[in-house]
Structure 1
């Protein structure tokens, strides 16, 4: 499948499946493992290692493979296209710059700068001290039709850096956190291959099982704090809500998201039960609930951001087949951009704006304070 089309289908369904069951997972794990969370406060992370897809990618994906390197992506931050699938910052940036996800993992989090993308690893020195981002937009846990490294391969890159001595095991144990982001690209690939609706539950189980294996791989590398996102409500992405003029989420798709998240919740609870070392804990980041909170309130819980229609994207193609960033042979734009990206939750048909991610951060923070 042509990379750009792959990215579209992978992003759309994957983002629709990753966020729904997260809050339940967090609540379940907290209820049964309160003693573990007390130990988390003794941990001071200084490095973040990220594995995943476009919700976390800060520039790994090649310029020829994605529109994230084309105008108008990056117009808010850093002011030009930089490989982020947004007008500005993405999930990874907010987790490290504001401390959202890591605040969940360690109350004494003191701040980590956004880790360098893996493709820039050879710069070495001080650029590596904040960790590394291995995420590639369009990927999943399986090597589907994407030529890009899936999550297992990304973890293999990390293993190789440890083997080469770029990072040492003791350092990882004492100061590092891993974040795994899965936004549903595996499910997009399943649909593109004409997978049956009857086979979907079984495939969802396969995806979650592989994700759990990836979590275990990270644990075996010595990291004591490992966070994983649930699927966001894929049925609420503009790709799905366009049919209702961006007024209504697709309940069928969100039901599949709920299954994914429920299985993930159960799997993470089981991992924590099996972990003998109290200092080694798996945590679920409740992106699904965070998204839904923003949609319900039309903004974050603090009221600092207001989205009149959270389901409507800012950057859209002019006609069928056009996407954000499309141009014709003469370079004429085949897309439109809203007047104020700060007033939009979604940037394109799959990815939030910087303002959208900021509101998700606010909603996440409120949930994390309940731990």
Structure 2
């Protein structure tokens, strides 16, 4: 077992023992006077998932006797660790991007087909609110893995950072670009001309600093809060996708609750979703301004329509790979996804 995994599991065990004392998860979930539920996410204090988690907590605690304990990135390990802890019932709730869930739920990789989602903010929120694929088809896929899907929401446009400005697939050649551990995302960056390099988040800053990798992709708020622009100062807006995340519960825990608590949780997730979809518009511009105020070395490249076209041409290749990975079910999901997008964006 890798040292990182051992240390993360030790940290998880220690923190959870501190949080629950001697009581078992089952005891905590059913106490009449109110339970202490545990929720882990992948980001830092003040980032989008943290804002969502605190709005969820706010609703739960204002409308019940339950309390919610939030664990941020690193406190219980990395993304794979908190998902495992949720499936085991150690955590009641988890927030994880399909970028990591893709190995567990291959169909979730649909969000990494480049240029499938529109770049414009005004369309994204409506899509997530109205999409049949997201609101009706995805819950069934997550349920197969023992997870109750409570919300999917966008966090921000994906932005690439690199050791030099990039305007074409030729500029990506020879560059190791860090990606999440996601097979379809690997296919995307190979199609873009780069060498996809999966790395856990905790290793990214150092790998950029030492030139083990020459770039990475993330929404702009994460580039700002993680200080990635300090070691990868060239920001490239390719318009190829949005960072999406999902908030879910351990299904055994959820189904063991009385109907009023299940409704409480659903209402809390809706409350947090409505808040975050008002919070997201303009966030990228605000975070970019902070980055530019902090560093004179940062460059910003926004691809023109003509420059985007070679990257867009690779989308069919990635779509075909998605269908190869997911079969008929993935094909039907993709068809519904496109129909949902057309209903929002039009031709």
TM-score under structure 1 length normalisation:
0.31
* Bigger RCO (CA 8 Å, 6+ sep): 1
The structure whose residues are more often helix, as a share, is: 2
TM-score under structure 2 length normalisation:
0.32
The structure whose residues are more often strand, as a share, is: 2
